[in-house]
Amino acid sequence: MFKSRKWAIALLSCLCLTAGNLRADEGMWLPLHIARLNIGDMQKAGCKLSAEQLYSVNSSSLKDAIVSFGGFCTGEIISGEGLILTNHHCGYGAIQSHSSVEKNYLRDGFWAYSKDQELPNPDLFVKFLVRMEDVSQRVLAKFNDQMTESERRKAAETEFVAIKKEATQGTGFDAEVKPYFDGNEYYLCVYETYRDVRLVGTPPESVGKFGGDTDNWMWPRHTGDFSMFRVYAGKDGKPATYSKDNVPLKPRHFLPVSTSGVKEGDFTMIFGFPGRTNRFLSSYGVKMALDISNPAVVVIRDKKLKLMKENMDANPAVRIKYAAKYAQIANYWKYFIGQSQGLNRLDVVDKKLAEETAFQQWADSDPVRKVKYGKVLAEMGSAFEKLRKFRKSSTYLNEAGLGAEIHTMALGARGLMEALSLPDTSKAKSAKVSAAAADLKEGLWETYKDYDVATDKKLFAAMMKMYREDILEEQQPTILTADLQKKYKGDIDKWTADVFSKSIFADSNKAKAFLAKPDAKVLEKDPAFVSASSFLSNAMTRISPQVMPINADVDRCNRLYVEGTLIMNKDAKKYYPNANSTMRMTYGKVGAYKPKDATYYNFSTTLDGIMEKEDPMNEEFIVPAKLKEIWQRKDYGRWAENGTVPVGFIGNTDITGGNSGSPVINGNGELVGLAFDGNWEAMSGDIAFEPALQRTISCDIRYVLLMIDKYANAQNLINEMKLVQTMPEPPVAPAVVPTVPAIPVADKKMPLATKPAAKKAVPSKK
């Protein structure tokens, strides 16, 4: 049974691969291992650069043009003056923060025609990776087999502190040590963080979010998902907080922009900061996601989105205030719907079971291995069995319990409450109270900027009702059980009315008055504070003590399962660790796919396709008048191909959330596109990569250039970039040895000009 299934799967994937005409390129590789693991393969596939040109600690390399954008997205430097390109949906929060009903940059777009028009964003930062280092030996040396998971974690953390201190002393850098391969390896990342990042340009939402939630996570796609920022530094080039005297950063490297486009089969690579994947997740974990967590997230978000939309549709100011919040909730609402569909359709549980069967056989076939790994899967299964009981309430806590902003605001007052509770004899008390009050004030006013009390009130009532109805009574906070009964006879609407009429958090004037004279008694009685505290203490004192030991068990089993899997397959497969918001590189080819029977999806979309989708009656598919004119006049300038402008393309590179905004780079190290999404048929890809179906959706750089040039008339930005046009490679004469990669011909400026292109393809290790 197992054998035949494995055979069937192998045959299936091989059939699909031929259908898609692509070789799968799964993998989010660590940049410091490119030289050892990937470069041979990459050069064979069309990469003309050396490993050293991609990632180097000593000289400038491609990685120096890549930034973590705000910690949640990726951006790339595309000029010698610190110009950053990222997605529209990554810049969305910043764009929204500068928007109002009068100056609606979300609706109309925004362009800085000179640097003094660029808009500062106090909370935004970009982080450059200075270097990465394998510190596994050092961390693992602190462990022994008798340690519990929490002892391991403590020992690791102590070592992290020491490593980070050594790595950053006297540099002004920040550092981070994280576990990889579920705690089997550890790496240090050293970063330089710049905090003066200004908005330079964005198309209107009708371009940057064209297709809206309908097209989100889908191909064929026609979204111009880009926005531009600039990173500023102090006069010495070092990070500095915002000052009008700061100067545009002179980067160590920036990406030249290729106007030559891509064709089917072209090599591309993507550098970025993917957030989280779960590729080693067990069949138990997949089942729990399918049965419990995914449906829970979807049902709550469904409700939230409906309620928010009602109020947004009714009021243009609310519409702007809630735009970013709405988009964020909607994005992963659709994601989890798609993930469940994909997990089911692609039989991921069965595929995981097959891997687990192989693991078990391997473990059992050797006495030493049997001791170490023989029980791992059984123990993992029983840990997940116990976890299932708590899964729904923990999902509900984040999504619903703390889902209304009045609760998150109230939780923000905990620090102040702590300070106020210090004995009056404490000398530090008044200083601590003022500091905590200042903190709270900052958080509150950030929230109030985009807050609508009527909307939040509706959300609060709905979320509390769902929590009350859907969660096991024994796992509910007392505020929803005894208290609600006693004071309101279980009537959540009455309770909600009380919370919003009495809480200081529901009214910025009351909050202001409170902050002028903070008083513990006021907080203690504040109904939002009381309620939020009840949710929190329920989670911390009742749920968490039961869940923590189970989680520790899951962690231990995962670690051993991954360790065993790596050993078991060490000669058969190259492994990469799950995404964890550190820099990764993925490479593959541009290429089409077959989403379903009798259907074939081409690898690129065009401006003509935008006009096919145009629907003036549907806000998601409105085409701005000016773009339509450009299309009517075919005023495409240098950015056309075959009489239209390429808009999007796909390839089989391996990305996930956090990669948004990542550069798609050709074999010469030039920018050809901007990654922004994954595709519907492979939404389960974060758990299991699907070679035949999984695609990265990118915006073609020529559409970005068309928008900047013809739509915005921002030639100042075009002029800053280094545009390169690669002549098509001459056909290879039969006498030429086919393994020698062609050197780009008319490419006057080689991207990483310090090194010549590799002369010989290095044999692949695969």
Query: Which residues does the annotation mark as catalytic?
Result: 89, 225, 660
CB 169 → ligand ARG: shortest distance, Å? 37
DSSP 63: G
CB 699 → ligand ARG: shortest distance, Å? 11
Q: Which tokens sit at 230? A: 């600039």
Question: Quick one: 559 or 613, whose CB is closer to ligand ARG?
Answer: 613
Residue 16 to residue 10: CA distance in whole angstroms: 10
CB 330 → ligand ARG: shortest distance, Å? 6
Question: Quick one: 330 or 528, whose CB is closer to ligand ARG?
Answer: 330
Question: Quick one: 216 or 475, whose CB is closer to ligand ARG?
Answer: 216
CB 210 → ligand ARG: shortest distance, Å? 9
Q: Which tokens sit at 97? A: 């923060």
Radius of gyration of the chain (CA): 27
| Range in contact with ligand ARG (rule: CB under 6 A) among 205-213, 226-234, 283-291, 464-472 | 205-213
Question: Quick one: 300 or 504, whose CB is closer to ligand ARG?
Answer: 300
Convert residues 217-236 into a mask of x (bound to ligand ARG by CB under 6 A) and - (unbound): x-------------------
Q: Write out the binding residues for ligand ARG, residues 663-702 only, by CB under 6 A.
A: 676-677
CB 728 → ligand ARG: shortest distance, Å? 33
Residue 155 to residue 151: CA distance in whole angstroms: 6
Contact 153, 556 (CB under 8 A): no
Q: Which tokens sit at 648? A: 């999007």
Question: Quick one: 281 or 330, whose CB is closer to ligand ARG?
Answer: 330
CB 325 → ligand ARG: shortest distance, Å? 12
Question: Quick one: 120 or 212, whose CB is closer to ligand ARG?
Answer: 212
Backbone CA torsion sign across 217, 222, 223, 226: positive
| Range in contact with ligand ARG (rule: CB under 6 A) among 40-48, 212-220, 543-551, 567-575 | 212-220
CB 342 → ligand ARG: shortest distance, Å? 14
Residue 621 to residue 627: CA distance in whole angstroms: 13
Q: Indicate which single residue of 212, 265, 381, 549 sits in contact with ligand ARG (rule: CB under 6 A).
A: 212
Question: Quick one: 619 or 629, whose CB is closer to ligand ARG?
Answer: 619
Helix (H, G, I), strand (E, B) or coil at 674: strand
Per-residue b/e over 281-319, b at no fewer than 16 CB within 10 Å?
A: bbbbbbbbbbebbbbbbbbbbebbbebbeebbeebeebb
- Cα 316 off chain centre by: 29
| Range in contact with ligand ARG (rule: CB under 6 A) among 8-16, 210-218, 556-564, 585-593 | 210-218
CB 683 → ligand ARG: shortest distance, Å? 10
Residue 698 to residue 275: CA distance in whole angstroms: 18
Contact 663, 270 (CB under 8 A): yes
CB 705 → ligand ARG: shortest distance, Å? 21
Alpha helices by DSSP H, 452-606: 453-470, 482-488, 492-502, 508-516, 520-525, 527-537, 544-568
Q: Indicate which single residue of 503, 565, 660, 698 sits in contact with ligand ARG (rule: CB under 6 A).
A: 660
Contact 270, 652 (CB under 8 A): no
Pairing of strands 723-724, 257-258: parallel
Question: Quick one: 85 or 327, whose CB is closer to ligand ARG?
Answer: 327
Q: Which tokens sit at 34? A: 């490119």
Question: Which amino acid, one-letter code, is at 735?
Answer: A
Question: Quick one: 89 or 559, whose CB is closer to ligand ARG?
Answer: 89
Q: Write out the binding residues for ligand ARG, residues 283-342 only, by CB under 6 A.
A: 327, 330-331
Q: Write out the binding residues for ligand ARG, residues 72-91 only, by CB under 6 A.
A: 89
Who's near 334: CB < 8 A, 6+ residues apart? 213, 216, 217
Kindly state whether residue 216 participates in binding ligand ARG, applying the rule CB under 6 A: yes
Per-residue b/e over 115-141, b at no fewer than 16 CB within 10 Å?
A: eeebebbeebbbbbbbbbbebeebbee
Q: Which tokens sit at 57? A: 């600690």
Q: Write out the binding residues for ligand ARG, residues 4-33 only, by CB under 6 A.
A: none
CB 166 → ligand ARG: shortest distance, Å? 36
Question: Among candidates 693, 691, 609, which has minimal Cα distance to 648?
Answer: 609
Residue 208 to residue 677: CA distance in whole angstroms: 13
Give percent helix, percent strand, percent coil of the chain, each to the nearest 5: 50, 15, 35
- Cα 342 off chain centre by: 20
Q: If DSSP states are collapsed to H, E and C, what string results for 361-379?
A: HHHHCCHHHHHHHCCHHHH
Question: Quick one: 253 or 325, whose CB is closer to ligand ARG?
Answer: 325
Residue 531 to residue 521: CA distance in whole angstroms: 15
CB 176 → ligand ARG: shortest distance, Å? 23
Contact 500, 506 (CB under 8 A): yes
CB 109 → ligand ARG: shortest distance, Å? 16
Q: Indicate which single residue of 198, 209, 319, 458 sits in contact with ligand ARG (rule: CB under 6 A).
A: 209
Question: Quick one: 89 or 131, whose CB is closer to ligand ARG?
Answer: 89
Q: Write out the binding residues for ligand ARG, residues 343-362 only, by CB under 6 A.
A: none
Contact 186, 139 (CB under 8 A): yes
Q: Write out the binding residues for ligand ARG, residues 87-126 only, by CB under 6 A.
A: 89
Residue 308 to residue 532: CA distance in whole angstroms: 21
Question: Quick one: 128 or 333, whose CB is closer to ligand ARG?
Answer: 333
| Range in contact with ligand ARG (rule: CB under 6 A) among 6-14, 171-179, 206-214, 239-247 | 206-214
Total residues contacting ligand ARG by CB under 6 A comes to 13
Contact 708, 655 (CB under 8 A): no
Q: At how many degrees (to 10) do helices 453-470 and 492-502 cross?
A: 140
Question: Quick one: 496 or 582, whose CB is closer to ligand ARG?
Answer: 582
| Range in contact with ligand ARG (rule: CB under 6 A) among 98-106, 135-143, 208-216, 547-555 | 208-216
Residue 14 to residue 2: CA distance in whole angstroms: 18
Could you give phi then psi for residue 8, rounded to 5 degrees?
-60, -40
Residue 23 to residue 204: CA distance in whole angstroms: 37
Q: Which tokens sit at 492? A: 């959540």
CB 88 → ligand ARG: shortest distance, Å? 8
Q: If DSSP states are collapsed to H, E and C, what string results for 462-494?
A: HHHHHHHHHCCHHHCCHHHCHHHHHHHCCCHHH
Half-sphere exposure of 233 toward its Cβ, with a 13 Å CA cutoff?
A: 18
Place of tokens 């991921």: 348
Kindly state whether residue 657 participates in binding ligand ARG, applying the rule CB under 6 A: yes
- Binding site residues, ligand ARG, CB under 6 A: 89, 209, 212-213, 216-217, 327, 330-331, 657, 660, 676-677
